[in-house]
A and B are shown apart, each in its own frame.
Chain A
């Protein structure tokens, strides 16, 4: 096993990996940009190395600086987290050349699966079901137009190098195509450095269901069941759960087998995720492989009991897979809500600023993977994810109740967040019924804004005034401010014999 791991990331995922290191007695190294000097991942790690200025290009995407930090600290492996360099095959390749273990797939299979077009070609050959789409990626509006006419509108535009919904757009008619392709290419270039896009048939009201896989370096692979991630806002997942309310045993078995076949033909190793769309009739289509640890990995950990980060370390260190498919079971139900710094009252625009006060939710079955703290200044430079709240319970119904209760008692004051919006989803009858399709939000909560009754506003104003009032000892103080014996007893000396 490794003795020191550098985590080439920030925020909650860096902390997640640092904690895994600590559990296994491995030293952890954090990297940080200038604005992240006070970030929580720096506080949690054993060592920390400055890698550049705030813009990600100069720090968290700066391969030279990160390789330099690995060499300087003598780390023998690097964990990329998600986003940033996690699916950059050039970084993985560079690590291989430098003799540093990259905790993830090798650069060759990563390159294959990260390229959506190349991976389509490979998977199509072995009969894996795919959505009709362009055969090649493109940077040409005319070419996209011709392809869209052939596929038939509506079509979905995706960034070839991308993930996480960046650059993705639904194009309903020819009139919208040119401007959508241009905007998609700009966003793809800015997010991934590659403007290439491609188009595919848009399937209406599908579910997004993905399978977690673990594969060792010797051709052994298992799947660790599914996660449903249909609740999305502008193609960005915000709620994920496992098991999926849409799968029965037969469909789960067939999709799991298909996921393993994708892993096999792409020669993939380490933890990965095979994404599918499932339509209303239960047909499923392979979308892509995410060659990284997913944001939503905790729901899988909670229902299977497998620590996916530990598993990543062990596989990367050369261990043969130690779990058999038949030994795995899904136990209970887990739901994750992503807590974002964004303003629901202003079209969910990202929000940055100072966190004045936060109280983390706790309770039976509650896990909070958190990258922030009271007093932390959320910078404008990076993804607006702040933390992830995960609830586990024996049943789905119970897990929803736990999540809703945890979201209710989760003050995160000073910046705008989506916490109240997430609670609206948790308490929505269509969510309770398992009617979770990718259009859940536009269908059920279009133009949602938080409701504020006059009664609530008066009570809030009263609380705000009390809080702003200079506290005078004794004045409207209440029990909690009564003096304690230690303040009133006078001049005592514990253990003092001299008198």
Chain B
């Protein structure tokens, strides 16, 4: 199974051995051999000689989330024949456009087409959950196009501004 976190793929091969609760696995060619107790759908224990590692997991279409030692890692599941679709659908965090990670209302566009902008320069203000948030430029570049105006409602991942990045 291929899992993607922060652009990096983790290929996991599981070789379950019946009855004992021992599993052998490979994560990106690194071998693991651990005792596992599946407590419930959401709780897994990893046992080693000196440590019990309690891990919580949850999954939703295309996403698997694990919680270890208070840290949360949300993976995108790569299904065969499909690219990592959830990332592609969002296109959030790309260098050539600005979008909002959640629905909101465009309050103010701070730039116009053709403007030269610098990395982290505020480009647009979007209001979500009663808070105004400045969305900042992901790169140095020129504003190529603006797709929304003040007062417009904007959905998750919809490009608000496109940028022509320059080095």
Residues on A lying within 8 angstroms of B by beta carbon are 56, 166, 183, 186-187, 190-191, 343, 346-347, 349-352, 354, 356-357, 359, 380-384, 407-411, 413-414, 419-420, 423, 450, 452, 456-469, 471-472, 474-481
Closest to A356 in B: B58
Closest to B23 in A: A476
Whether A464 lies near B66 (C-beta < 8 A) is yes
Whether B21 lies near A479 (C-beta < 8 A) is yes
Which chain A positions have C-beta within 8 A of B72?
411, 413, 420, 450
Assess A414 versus B14: contact at CB under 8 Å? Given A190-B130, A346-B101, A423-B70. no
Which chain B positions have C-beta within 8 A of A423?
70
Whether A351 lies near B101 (C-beta < 8 A) is yes
Closest to A473 in B: B18
Closest to B57 in A: A467
Interface segment out of the listed B80-88, B121-129, B159-167: B121-129
Whether A408 lies near B70 (C-beta < 8 A) is yes
B1 at the interface (CB under 8 A from A): yes
Whether A463 lies near B57 (C-beta < 8 A) is yes
Whether A476 lies near B16 (C-beta < 8 A) is yes
Give which listed residue, B35, B38, B131, contacts A166 with CB less than 8 A: B131
Whether B129 lies near A382 (C-beta < 8 A) is yes
Can you spell out 18 A-B residue pairs with CB atoms less than 8 angstroms apart? A187-B127, A354-B60, A357-B57, A383-B129, A408-B69, A452-B73, A458-B27, A459-B46, A460-B5, A462-B27, A463-B46, A463-B68, A464-B66, A466-B23, A467-B44, A468-B1, A478-B45, A480-B37
Assess A411 versus B56: contact at CB under 8 Å? Given A457-B73, A461-B3. yes
Known: A464-B73, A476-B16. 7 other contacts (CB 8 A): A452-B5, A460-B66, A461-B73, A466-B44, A467-B41, A479-B21, A480-B37
B22 at the interface (CB under 8 A from A): yes
Assess A411 versus B67: contact at CB under 8 Å? Given A383-B129, A461-B27, A476-B23. yes
Tell me the bound Cα distance from A70 to B14 in angstroms.
59
| Residues B1-43 near A (CB distance < 8 A) | 1, 3, 5-6, 8, 10, 12, 14, 16-19, 21-23, 25, 27-28, 30, 32, 34-42
Whether B18 lies near A475 (C-beta < 8 A) is yes
Which chain A positions have C-beta within 8 A of B130?
56, 166, 190-191, 382-383
B55 at the interface (CB under 8 A from A): yes
Q: Interface on chain B toward A: helix, strand, loop, or mixed SS?
A: strand
Q: Which 9 A-B pairs have the closest CB atoms?
A: A478-B21, A476-B16, A356-B58, A478-B37, A461-B10, A465-B12, A467-B57, A357-B58, A350-B129
Closest to A419 in B: B70
Which chain A positions have C-beta within 8 A of B46?
459, 463
Which chain B positions have C-beta within 8 A of A408?
69-70
Whether B38 lies near A481 (C-beta < 8 A) is yes
Closest to B19 in A: A474
Which chain A positions have C-beta within 8 A of B77?
468
B102 at the interface (CB under 8 A from A): yes
Whether B25 lies near A468 (C-beta < 8 A) is no
Which chain A positions have C-beta within 8 A of B18?
474-477
Which chain B positions have C-beta within 8 A of A56?
130
Number of A-B contacts (CB under 8 A): 198
- Is the interface on chain B under 10, 10 to 19, 20 to 34, or 35 or more residues? 35 or more
Whether B38 lies near A414 (C-beta < 8 A) is no
Nearest Cβ in chain B — how far from A404, in angstroms?
Answer: 9
Which chain B positions have C-beta within 8 A of A465?
1, 3, 12, 14, 25, 64
Assess A462 versus B75: contact at CB under 8 Å? Given A381-B129, A471-B38. no
Tell me the bound Cα distance from A351 to B65 in angstroms.
16
Which chain A positions have C-beta within 8 A of B70?
407-410, 419-420, 423
B133 at the interface (CB under 8 A from A): yes
Whether A352 lies near B69 (C-beta < 8 A) is no
Interface-central residue, A56, A450, A465, A469, by most chain B CB under 10 Å: A465
Whether B75 lies near A183 (C-beta < 8 A) is no
Tell me the bound Cα distance from A187 to B108 in angstroms.
12
Tell me the bound Cα distance from A471 to B38 in angstroms.
9
Interface-central residue, A357, A423, A464, A466, by most chain B CB under 10 Å: A464
Which chain A positions have C-beta within 8 A of B8?
457
Tell me the bound Cα distance from A423 to B102 in angstroms.
25
Which chain B positions have C-beta within 8 A of A474?
18-19
B107 at the interface (CB under 8 A from A): yes
Nearest Cβ in chain A — how far from B129, in angstroms?
Answer: 4
B147 at the interface (CB under 8 A from A): no
Which chain B positions have C-beta within 8 A of A458?
10, 27-28, 30, 32
Whether A477 lies near B38 (C-beta < 8 A) is yes
